[in-house]
């Protein structure tokens, strides 16, 4: 594995953008006390393609349980492979057991912390 920093960037288009905007607006409100909204922040978004996407918000003040459950349910549902790129992913015993069970079902597993 290379010894260098790597950022992962993605371009998101379509309805998932509204969820990302809402997560940003919520974090902005928590941090500044200022509510932002309106068409300038939430313009009309057209559907593009048919690839499903899910946004799960987390911040220093919350979201850990939702992310934990998302990982656990996704690992338990994996049929072919599991790819995790999250520098904060530290599996506990339950998560480790889920990964082992996924491997015994034939799912390949790859984790990249950077």
Within the chain, what is the greatest distance between any pair of CA atoms?
Answer: 50
What is the per-residue pLDDT for 16? 87
pLDDT, one tens digit for every residue, the chain (114 residues): 567 776 778 888 888 888 889 989 998 998 999 999 888 888 888 888 888 888 888 776 767 888 889 899 999 999 898 888 777 788 899 999 999 999 998 888 776 655
Query: What pTM was estimated for this model as a whole?
Result: 0.63
What is the per-residue pLDDT for 7? 72
Residue pair 27/60 in contact (Cβ under 8 Å)? The answer is no
Distance separating alpha carbons of residues 12 and 78, to the nearest angstrom? 23
Residue 85: phi and psi, rounded to 5, are -125, 90
Identify the DSSP state of 40: T
What is the per-residue pLDDT for 113? 57
Given CA atoms 95, 96, 101, 107 in this order, what sign does their dihedral have? positive
What is the per-residue pLDDT for 29? 93
């Amino acid at each position: 594995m290379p010894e260098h920093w790597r950022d992962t960037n993605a371009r998101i288009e379509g309805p998932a953008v509204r969820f990302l905007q809402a997560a940003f607006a919520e974090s902005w409100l928590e941090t500044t006390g200022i509510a932002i909204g309106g068409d300038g922040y939430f313009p009309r978004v057209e559907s593009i393609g048919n690839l499903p996407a899910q946004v799960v918000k987390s911040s220093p003040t919350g979201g850990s349980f939702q992310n934990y459950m998302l990982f656990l349910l996704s690992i338990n549902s994996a049929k072919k492979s599991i790819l995790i790129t999250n520098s904060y992913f530290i599996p506990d015993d339950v998560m480790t057991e889920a990964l082992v069970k996924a491997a015994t079902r034939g799912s390949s597993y790859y984790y990249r912390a950077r």
